[in-house]
């Protein structure tokens, strides 16, 4: 095959990669299986969409991509000393492979217009879920005859409310950035807020909504915004408690379940969470440095005393993602996870304000959710986190000029300098993945 022909095919495959990412972003709130398929296909196409050497250089000089690969490789290393049987090791590696897939996509997603399309696609799907949720709640309770509750459509109430809360604040950020379509967002935002706080039963979504409210107003208005966030949060949550039976019941249930747990009755929604977290903390203390190895959580959990597992049974993961990582990979794993969070926060500042806002909102959502959910093991949450990392941070890699003569000598400090200079070439600000 001639060189021009090869380049033509590479360009076509690269465009196919972009469109596959767009489809994955659209499908994400709708179907776990299809998202898994298109996410994997996009990463596969990325292997053939550019010169291998150029792509490898870009990946090695991209701080987020390197950290993602490092986090996955730590699980590979953990497989060498694990106490878990092979099927559980492979299951865990399959889950963690999303971090690797995101790293492979970052150097390839160079078309910023299509990256914006991917975010649009996610928001359009979220609006579809919103409308169906209203339809099911108010008019057709048996819509689709799903196993989910009265407001959930394609995902359970925890996942759907989290995705809706995150989508809500993407739109709020666009509205505050004076997006040309802000009048559309002005209609959708109140509908989304009502769905998240007044009719949904996903308590994790309530906490994420509150955290993102404080972050959003602080991001745009500084310390004054923090005060605004606290006041508006009290008003919104107070109104939801007074008006919404769902919100009131779910918040009162927290207090009731905690009291029941303290009285020795551990089998409840909150009680099982508390017990699983305490059990995971106990396991972590026994092997604090390297943990029990990849995929070992349930095997290690089975070694606990029967009275400690009576309420929870033998769990595959606990309800705290940080301890899940700690049990399997020890303090080393937790440290690398926190490093990934830190790098995301730090390097998001090199994007334009709207891109920085979305990626930091994603980070806050994941960090809060991981406190009481196994979100680093749940497929949809992993899809969202890793796919958005690839889409958002691809904006950094496209501004760094690489050549074979540079690749061997560029330090991380030089990477930062070149990225900053190239992104501000001719006085132009960095263009972001979000319009």
Q: Return the structure tokens found at 184.
A: 């559309």
Neighbouring CB atoms inside 10 A of 190's CB total 11
Q: Considering only CA atoms, which of 74, 85, 69 is closest in space to residue 289?
A: 74
Residue entry with tokens 């909150």: 270
Tell me what pLDDT residue 304 has: 96
Q: Are 189 and 231 in contact (CB under 8 A)?
A: no
Q: Per-residue confidence at 178, pLDDT binned at 50, 70, 90?
A: confident
Q: Are 102 and 386 in contact (CB under 8 A)?
A: yes
Q: Are 329 and 45 in contact (CB under 8 A)?
A: no
Encode pLDDT of 119-155 as tens digits.
Answer: 999 999 999 999 999 999 999 988 877 778 788 999 9
**How far does CA 86 lie from the centroid of its chain?**
27
The number of residues making up the chain comes to 435
Euclidean distance between CA atoms 60 and 66, whole angstroms: 6
- Bigger pLDDT: 421 vs 140: 140
Q: In whole numbers, what is the pLDDT of the chain averaged over residues?
A: 89
Encode pLDDT of 365-400 as tens digits.
Answer: 999 999 999 999 999 999 999 999 999 999 885 444
Encode pLDDT of 203-259 as tens digits.
Answer: 999 999 999 999 999 999 999 999 999 999 999 999 999 999 999 999 999 999 999
Encode pLDDT of 299-347 as tens digits.
Answer: 999 999 999 999 999 999 999 999 999 999 999 999 999 999 999 999 9
Q: Are 395 and 351 in contact (CB under 8 A)?
A: yes
Q: Considering only CA atoms, which of 60, 20, 39 is closest in space to residue 102?
A: 39
């Amino acid at each position: 095959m001639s060189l021009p022909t090869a380049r033509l095919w590479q360009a076509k495959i690269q465009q196919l990669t972009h469109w596959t990412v767009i489809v994955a972003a659209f499908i994400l709130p709708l179907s776990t299986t299809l998202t898994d398929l298109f996410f994997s296909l996009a990463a596969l196409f990325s292997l053939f969409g550019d010169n291998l050497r150029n792509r490898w250089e870009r990946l090695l000089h991209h701080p987020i991509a390197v950290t993602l690969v490092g986090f996955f490789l730590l699980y590979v290393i953990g497989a060498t000393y694990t106490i878990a049987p092979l099927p559980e090791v492979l299951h865990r590696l399959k889950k963690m492979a999303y971090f690797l897939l995101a790293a492979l996509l970052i150097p390839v997603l160079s078309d910023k217009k299509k990256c914006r399309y991917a975010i649009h696609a996610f928001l359009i799907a979220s609006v579809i879920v919103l409308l169906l949720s209203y339809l099911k709640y108010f008019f057709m309770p048996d819509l689709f005859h799903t196993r989910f509750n009265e407001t959930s459509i394609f995902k359970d109430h925890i996942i759907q409310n989290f995705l809706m809360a995150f989508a809500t604040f993407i739109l709020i950020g666009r509205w505050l950035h004076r997006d040309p379509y802000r009048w559309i967002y002005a209609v959708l935002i109140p509908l989304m807020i009502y769905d998240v706080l007044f009719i949904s039963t996903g308590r994790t979504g309530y906490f994420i909504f509150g955290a993102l409210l404080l972050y959003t107003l602080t991001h745009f208005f500084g310390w004054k915004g923090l005060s605004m966030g606290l006041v508006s949060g009290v008003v919104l949550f107070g109104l939801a408690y007074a008006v919404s039976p769902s919100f009131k019941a779910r918040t009162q249930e927290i207090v009731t379940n905690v009291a029941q747990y303290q009285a020795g009755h551990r089998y409840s929604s909150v009680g099982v969470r508390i017990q699983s977290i305490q059990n995971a903390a106990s396991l972590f203390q026994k092997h604090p440095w390297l943990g029990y190895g990849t995929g070992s959580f349930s095997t290690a959990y089975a070694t606990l005393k029967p009275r400690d597992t009576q309420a929870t049974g033998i769990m595959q993961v606990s309800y705290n993602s940080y301890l899940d990582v700690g049990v399997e990979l020890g303090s080393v794993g937790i440290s690398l996870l926190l490093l990934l969070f830190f790098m995301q926060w730090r390097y998001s500042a090199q994007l334009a304000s709207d891109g920085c806002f979305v990626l930091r909102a994603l980070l806050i959502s994941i960090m809060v959710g991981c406190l009481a959910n196994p979100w680093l093991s749940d497929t949809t949450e992993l899809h969202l986190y890793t796919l958005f990392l690839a889409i958002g941070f691809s904006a950094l890699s496209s501004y760094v000029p690489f050549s074979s003569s540079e690749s061997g000598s560029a330090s991380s400090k030089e990477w930062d300098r070149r990225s900053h200079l190239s992104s501000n070439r001719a006085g132009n600000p960095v263009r972001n993945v979000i319009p």
